[in-house]
Each structure stands twice: as C-alpha cells, then as structure tokens.
Amino acid sequence: MRGSWWREGVFYQIYPRSFQDSNGDGVGDLAGITRRLDHLNDGTPASLGIDAIWISPFYRSPMKDFGYDVSDYRDIDPTFGTLGDFDRLLEEAHRRGIRVLVDLVPNHTSDQHPWFVESRSSRDNPKRNWYVWADPRRGGPPNNWRAVFGAREKRSAWTLDPATGQYYLHHFLPEQPDLNWWNEEVRRAIDDVMRFWLDRGVDGFRIDVAHSLVKDQRLRDNPRLFAKRRPRHNWELDEVHEIHRRWRRVLDEYDDRMAVAEVSSRKLANLVRYYGNDDELQMPFNFNFLRQPWSAERFRAVVEEWERLLPHHAWPDYTLSNHDRSRAASRYGPRRARVAALMLLTLRGTPFIYYGEEIGMTDVTIPPERIVDVDGRDGERTPMQWDATPNAGFSTGRPWLPMAPDAQRVNVAAQRDDPGSLFSFYRRLIRLRHGSPALRSGSYRTLPAPRGVFAYVREAEGGRYGVGLNFTDRARRVGFARPARLVLSTSTDREGSAELGEFDLAPNEGVLAQLS
Ligand code: GLC
C-alpha cells in the first residue's frame, strides 16, 4: 500500500560527519555510511533492523553550521565524497530494503551560494529579491527580529552589507542568509532541487526549519509580551502551508515518496495544522517528548492530546533525540533510557532513532579548545562507537570531535553478543514491532494506572499488546485487566512467572506483554 513504508517503518538519523570515516581524515563520509549499512539492516536479527535513514546535509558547504549552510544543493561536499558515492549508498541501501531521506535546507542558503553572491553584488541585480533585503531603520536593523543562534545574546536577525548599504535577513548565522519565500522564482528553484534528488531515487526529505520560510512582508516588529518578544511576524505564518502543499504536489509527481517537516511548534494544536487536509507534507516532527521531564503523567498527556487532535488521515511520529538536543541517555540516565526506548518503539507512530541511541551513547563534555559548533551542540554529535579499536573504529585519523571517554566499553561490538545489552533490546523490539500489526499500525488506548505509571494497549485484528512503564523510583503494582504474558522487560533481572496478573513493576521498569 502507498505510504505504508513510512507509517510502519522505523527511521534512523545519521549525522554524516560522525557515523563512519572511510578515508582517515577524521570526518565521516558517504562511503563510510555505505560500509556500515549492515549494522542498520542486513536482513538478519544480528542487525538493528531499521527501515529508513535520514541523513543530515552532505551538500557543498563552507560548514559554518556543518552542512546546514548549503552553497550547492546539487553536489556533495568533498569532505563527504562525490555524487557517485551517493548513488552507491542509495543503491546499497535500497538493496537492503532501507529507504533514504535526504535533508533539504530551504529556509536559507550559505552566503557563499552563487544566488547570494549575485544577490549581494548590487541593489539591482536580478537575484536581489531572492533574499530579504531592507534599508536601515534609524541607523540600525530594519526591525526587532532576533536570530535563533545567539538568542541569549539577543542577536539581531539582520546584518548590514556595507557595499550596498542595506541589511539582509538571517535567522541563523550571518553566513546563512534567509531566502525570500514570497518570490516565485525561489519557490521554483527549490522545487527543482527536490526533483533533482527525487530523480536520483531518494525516497523523500527531512525538511529543515519548515515552519519558518515565509516572513512578514511588511517586516513589522514582533510584539513584546511580558518582557518577552513573541516571534509573531517571522515564524509560522499561514502562508507556510501553501508552500507545504506545493511541495506535496512535487512529491506526488513521483511514486510513494514522502517528507517529514522540522516544525518547532510547542503547541500540538498548532502542529496538527501541518497535516493539512492530507495535502501537506506527510508528517511534521513531534518534538514534544524532548521537552518533557521524566514523568508518566507528562508523557501520557502528550500522547493523549496528540491522539485526540490527529485527524483520521494523519499518522503520528515520535523522537527522543537528534543532532540539536542532548541525548536521551544523558537526559534520563541508562535505566530510564531503556524505558523511554520501549515507549518510543511501542507507541502508535513512526519512531525516529538518532544514531548511537541504540547503544546508549551519552553527551560528551567537549574541552573548550575543541568546541566547533556555534550553538553548543558538539556534545551530542560525537563519533559513533563501533568497537574497542582506536577511535572506536570510527576513523584511523584524528576524529573531528573527541571520542566519548567510555567508547572502548560502550560500543556496537561489545553489545552485539550480549543478550542483556541495550543494542539487543532495540533489535528485539524492532523485530517485534515489525512482526506485529498491533504494534506497527494498531490502535492506541490508555489504560488506568497508578500515579507515576504510563500504561496503554495497542490492538489490531488478531493481536493485542499491553505496555506498562514505571517512571518512579518505587515499585508500582499494575495489571492489564486481562490475562497477560510477559514478552519483554527493560530489566534484565525480572524474575517470576511470565503470566502477569496483578504484578509489581520495579522502579523505572517497563514491560511489554501479550494480552489475550
Ligand atoms: C535546524 C537544524 C539545525 C540547524 C538549523 C539551521 O534546526 O536541525 O541543526 O542548525 O536548522 O539550519
């Protein structure tokens, strides 16, 4: 069925600088990813078993924001390889049944992109209007909009270009000028970039900053409210939906492709609008798990509200980590991270796993002299830990970011043959999910549970599973209200009968049970 691969599959995000280096320069590359595809899915239970990868940007870039500043949307940065390497990666992934999403960055380009170089060259250049240029106001920036990077320093989203005497807009670094999405030529140029990759055979896109794009044409100041500035005029304007509908039409020119949009709406009622009438992008990311404290009630509230808001045609997704956020194992600790993984992989919705989460990688403290990111995100981007060889098998050169101090102990090789390892837990869960229509695509229903426990049922014709997650540091007595057989627990030391009537969940334990 059309669309079933992304509804029923498990996604895995690869940050290409940090996955596998193949040429010893200390930076991961496309050939490295190809070499490691068997870890992701080799068709046997030895591999993780995921269905799709999203690769963060690998296009030509001056790397001010490590690839999120693109200077050529249609070529690979030499650090990562060549278009030939990309084609090989795509072919090898497809051969293993792994779909591939590439990262589209349409809100801004690099200041080195030929479009911007032209645009800034003079006020009457034909590309001037491809970016957002404005005259100074009272000798300063055109309005009070602020950049996302440097929010704490209250940095303006505008930079003066002395040569032409105007300011240009950039919501991230000054080296990332925002495109002018009111301009039809810009819209067409990005459609063509999409077609370039779709023609090459990619299965879709993760779309960067997809909620922003269009900004108030009159460049009105954002209002101040309670001493805070609300980004009313530069974030989530209604016109953005028109662009998402346009992109959907481009995707629909092809067979069964999809896109997932980075939308940072905090309010789910806002987020749900991005599903449109099944005529926008297939899914917006739901980042709300990343913002919750460790509380059963809080996670349950997110899931219940989301289930209530979603129209019939809309399919949810969830994620616990990405390249912009602290890792789950660091936020929650190892024991709880397992409970969180059980939740992620048993809820109704496509799970997105960030590389390294399957072995419990944690944020690394980066010594000041090795900090390279502009926004403090190096800690969650350190190289993948493969084995106990030097640099954990990531590179024969000096890794671009330090390896985790525990990399010799925490790695794929060490966990592969250990049935109690987190990697084994992920593998089992993903296989269970694949094998069960109830877990893959069945309905969701919350179960009554004591304080601090989040419990639910997933059900489809011919199958029913119960999940109980204890978020507290105390044992909690629970039951699934019908005969239940234990399938798996986050605790390797669970003892007693596999038949679960009323039973005790250990502190921070989660169980999956088959219900009759
Ligand atoms: C998105 C990306 C982030 C990047 C920013 C600017 O939020 O996830 O990594 O820095 O956009 O492109």
Segment 412-421 long-range contacts (CB within 8 Å, at least 24 positions apart): 412/39, 412/359, 412/384, 412/385, 412/386, 412/387, 413/386, 413/387, 413/388, 414/387, 414/388, 415/359, 416/46, 420/492, 421/359
- Work out the pLDDT band at 501, boundaries 50, 70, 90: confident
pLDDT at 228: 65
Left (φ > 0), alpha (ψ -120 to 50) or beta: where does 210 sit?
alpha
34-52 pLDDT, tens digit each: 999 999 999 999 999 999 9
Instruction: Single out the residue of 445, 443, 451, 474 nearest to residue 298, CA to CA.
Output: 451
Active site residues: 208, 253
- Check if the beta carbon of residue 363 is closer than 8 Å to that of residue 379: yes
Residue 496 has what pLDDT? 79
Q: Where are the domains of the chain?
A: 4-106+184-431, 108-178, 441-515
Question: Closest residue (by CA) to atom 3 of ligand 1?
Answer: 324
Residue nearest atom 4 in ligand 1 by C-alpha distance: 68
Task: Tell me, using a 6 A CB cutoff, whether residue 324 lines ligand 1.
Answer: yes
Q: Domain 4-106+184-431: which topology?
A: TIM Barrel (3.20.20)
Mean pLDDT of 183-211: 98
- pLDDT at 209 (0 to 100): 97
Provide the pLDDT for residue 227: 58
Which pLDDT score, from 0 to 100, does residue 160 have? 98
Report whether pLDDT(229) > 70: no
User: Given ligand 1 and candidates 209, 211, 325, 374, which is best to mutate, with the most ligand atoms within 8 Å of its CB?
Assistant: 209
Centre of ligand 1 to C-alpha 58, Å, is 13
Q: Which residue among 73, 263, 324 has the greatest number of ligand 1 atoms within 8 angstroms of its CB, and so is best to mutate?
A: 324
What is the CA(208)–ligand 1 centre distance, in A? 6
How many angstroms separate the CA atoms of 185 and 191, rounded?
A: 10
pTM across the whole model = 0.97
**% the chain with pLDDT above 90:** 92
Query: What is the Å distance from ligand 1's center to 499 Cα?
Result: 47
Q: List Cβ neighbours of 349 (8 Å cut-off, separation of 6 or more).
A: 286, 306, 315, 316, 317, 318
**Backbone conformation region of residue 53, classed left if phi is above 0, alpha if psi is from -120 to 50, else beta:** beta
Kindly give the number of the ligand 1 atom that is closest to the alpha carbon of 171: 6
For residue 391, give the nearest of 404, 378, 380 by alpha carbon. 404
CATH architecture of 108-178: Alpha-Beta Complex (3.90)
CATH of domain 441-515: 2.60.40.1180
Going by C-alpha positions, the residue among 415, 416, 390, 413 that lies closest to residue 403 is 390
Question: Do 170 and 147 meet the contact criterion of CB atoms below 8 Å apart?
Answer: yes
pLDDT tens-place string over residues 403-412: 999 999 999 9
Each residue's pLDDT tens digit, 322-367:
999 999 999 999 999 999 999 999 999 999 999 999 999 999 999 9
pLDDT tens for 244-296 read: 999 999 999 999 999 999 998 889 999 999 999 999 999 999 999 999 999 99
Give the atom of ligand 1 at the shortest distance from the alpha carbon of 149: 10
Q: Are 353 and 429 in contact (CB under 8 A)?
A: no
Burial of 419 per CB tally in 10 Å (0-12, 13-18, 19+): exposed
Question: Token pair of 514, please?
Answer: 């088959």
